[in-house]
Amino acid sequence: MSERLESPAHDEIEEQARPFHALYEHWEHNQWSLFDLDFTVDAESYARLDDESKRGLRWIFSHRFDAEWEVARLLPPFVTAAPDYEVQLVLATQLSDEHRHLRAVLRIYDEIFGVRGFAEAQALSAANSDPVSNRLYSEFSEYVEQLRDDQSPRMFLGAVVAYHLLAEGVIARTAQNLAGDQYVRFGNFPGLLQGQRNVARDEARHIGIGVSYVRRCAAADPNGTYEVVGEVVGHFAEVAAELLALAEGNMDDLVVAGYGTEPEAFYGEAMRLLQLRMRSIGFAA
C-alpha cells in the first residue's frame, strides 16, 4: 500500500488561496504532540535491516534533519519582513511548526538510530551530505537571506516563491512522497509514518501560505507578480536540470537506496509538482 502523502485535504489547502485567518485557524485546530509518537516498533525494525537499507534510511533522515534545521534558521527574516500582521502571524505559526519538526527528527536519531544530541545528529548528517542537496540549500538560503537587508515587497515575494512554493511545495514534497512509499519496503515503521503524516499536514498549510500570498499579490498587480514568479522559477528550473545531470552521474545508487527510484524519476515527480504549484497560483509557465 502506497503511503504517498497527497490527499483531498492536502490538495485543498495547497491549491486554493484562502484568507490568512483561515490558515491560522487550521493551525489551531490541527495541533499534534511530539510526545504522542512511539518509535519502539520502528527501532526494532531498524535493528533488523541490512547495512544497505540502514544507510538508505539514514540518508533520508539526514536530508530531513538538514532541511528542518535550515528552515528553522531561515524563517525569522520572513516574519520580520512580512508586510502586515496577518501574514506575520501565519509565518510565526510556521516557525513554531518547523522547530517541532526538527525535534521530531532529533527523536528519530536518538530512539531509532542511536545518535544522541544535536551535535551528533549534525555530524551524522554531514557524513551523509551530497552535492545536490548542498547546492539546493545554498540556492534557497540565498533568496531568503537577502530579506535581512532588503524587505521590499518584490524581494519578499521572490523569497515566498522560492521557499514556500519551490523548496516546500516541490522539493520537500517530492522527497516526502517518495520516502513515504519506501517505509513499507524497509519494514514496519508505524511511528515514522504517523510523524510524516503530521508533518505533511503542517507543510500543506505552509504551501498554502505561499499560494495565498502570491494570489493576493497577483490580484493587486498581476504583471509585476508573475514577472517575479517567472524569474525565480526560471532560475530554479535551470538549477534543477544541472543537478539532475550531477545526480545521474554520481548518486544513482544512493537515491535508489533511499527513495527506491532513479534520479530521473525524482526529477519527474518534482516537475509534476512544479506544474501543480504554478496552476495553483494561476501562472501559465
Domain ranges of the chain: 8-280
pLDDT value at residue 132: 77
Higher pLDDT: 178 or 10? It is: 178
In terms of Cα–Cα distance, which of 193, 166, 158 is closest to 71?
166
The predicted-structure confidence for 236-284, as pLDDT tens digits, reads as follows 888 888 877 776 666 556 555 556 667 777 788 888 999 999 999 998 7
pTM recorded for the entire structure: 0.89
What average pLDDT does the chain have? 86
Cα distances from 72 to residues 266, 277, 285, in angstroms, run: 25, 23, 30
**∠189-192-203 over CA atoms, to 5°?**
150
The residue type at 117: G
Task: Tell me which architecture the domain covering 8-280 has in CATH.
Answer: Orthogonal Bundle (1.10)
| Helical packing angle, 222-250 and 252-259, nearest 10° | 110
